[in-house]
Structure 1
Amino acid sequence: MLTLERLRADHAPALLAFEAENRKYFARTVPDRGDAYFEAAGFAARHQALLAEQDAGICHFHLVLDDEGRIVGRVNLMDVEDGCAELGYRVGERAAGKGVATAAVGQVCRMAATAYGLTSLVAKTTLDNLASRTVLERNAFTAVEDITIDGRPGIRYRRSQAPLPDDTA
């Protein structure tokens, strides 16, 4: 069973380890965050900045934990404004292809409506990222616009936060 935890200060060491462990894996589909991101002092400062954004209600950051309490992914709601936020997520290589992203995104969509009062979510992915497109479509996101992401063809998705029949779980 997956658990979502809202980002906290004490998550920093485990989160840095998760990101470092999956750096090459993530770089296959999204731009690398650069060496500075993985330096302990810089990561700690960035982590504190994320917590400040979360405290201000600008963003909502969540870690996805496995049955043993290990971080296997992240699901974030960013740039909250006028009842809308942008969804972002990543699942580590160990958990990829096991339904983790689909389940975690579904949980965050429910939280977005109930805990955060959001009425819509947007997300984007590259056209060639079939796994990410599948996660979004399985969670009632609809493609609304062709876009370019880092010079690659992409798609912007939108989801209305009207409850779906399976959103009551």
Structure 2
Amino acid sequence: MEIIIERLQEKDAAELFKFESENRSYFEKSVPNRGDEYYNIENFKIKHKELLEEQEKQESYFYLIKDQSSSIIGRINVVDIDRTKNIGHVGYRVGEIHTGKGIANKALKLLLTNISSENINKLHAKTTSINIASQKVLERNGFTRVITDDEEFVMNDQTYRFVHFVWSRT
């Protein structure tokens, strides 16, 4: 499947809310819950506007992963950008019906190409210890596993740890 990534825009709010709502239970199986307030449309619109402001200030970059018909099938972001060190943190999520198709891998490759003009030289990422697919996506794109947290956390009645990765421009 061919995909593109596009920077988040104001016009994306309604479709993005639908995507997040439809995939909520799927996402919450592998990442911490965002809380019920996130799924209230009025709160979502406020958060969307805040993300656009953060992007405008170049503190973060928010991308939508889209298929050939321009439908949202995932998200990939660079957040908490430290311009003094040219470092950011990457995260991504792909809708349930699109998993297992290499979408996250392709999106991360596109992101790494896109940020080459943004002077970001290092990216950090983390995933849960059970999310082997995400760990493989990171490793395939040149990220190196650096540490697994000693501290455990409970999510969905299961105990997990975070696994941390880093990517550096060579």
When normalised by structure 2's length, the TM-score is 0.91
Cα distance in 1, alignment partners of residues 134 and 20 from structure 2? 18
Cα distance in 2, alignment partners of residues 71 and 53 from structure 1? 21
1:154, distance to aligned residue in structure 2 (A) = 2.1
* 1:132–1:149 distance in 2 versus 1, CA, 3 Å: farther
Indicate the percent of aligned positions where both proteins have the same amino acid. Answer: 37
2:133 to 115, 131, 134: 131
Query: Which residue pairs with 1:117 in the alignment?
Result: 119
Q: Which runs of 5+ in 1 are unaligned?
A: 163-169
1:33, distance to aligned residue in structure 2 (A) = 1.2
Q: Tell me whether 1:160 sits opposite 2:168 in the alignment.
A: yes
1:122-155: CA deviation from partner (whole Å, max 9, x where unpaired): 1001111101101101101001112146452221
Aligned residues: 161
2:94 to 91, 112, 119: 91
Runs of 4+ in 1 over 6 A off after TM superposition: none
Cα distance in 1, alignment partners of residues 24 and 163 from structure 2? 24
Query: Which residue pairs with 2:111 in the alignment?
Result: 108
* 1:78–1:70 distance in 2 versus 1, CA, 3 Å: same
3-state secondary structure, aligned to 1:115: helix
Q: Which runs of 5+ in 2 are unaligned?
A: 155-159
Q: Tell me whether 1:37 sits opposite 2:45 in the alignment.
A: no
- Asked if 2 retains the 8 angstrom alpha-carbon contact of 1:125 and 1:149, the reply is no
Cα distance in 1, alignment partners of residues 111 and 152 from structure 2? 24
Cα distance in 2, alignment partners of residues 110 and 118 from structure 1? 11
RMSD (Å), alpha carbons:
1.1
Cα distance in 2, alignment partners of residues 104 and 55 from structure 1? 22
When normalised by structure 1's length, the TM-score is 0.92
Cα distance in 1, alignment partners of residues 76 and 5 from structure 2? 9
User: Which segment drifts farther, 149-158 or 40-49?
Assistant: 149-158
Counterpart AA for 2:105: T
1:94-143: CA deviation from partner (whole Å, max 9, x where unpaired): 1100000000011111212x221111111001111101101101101001
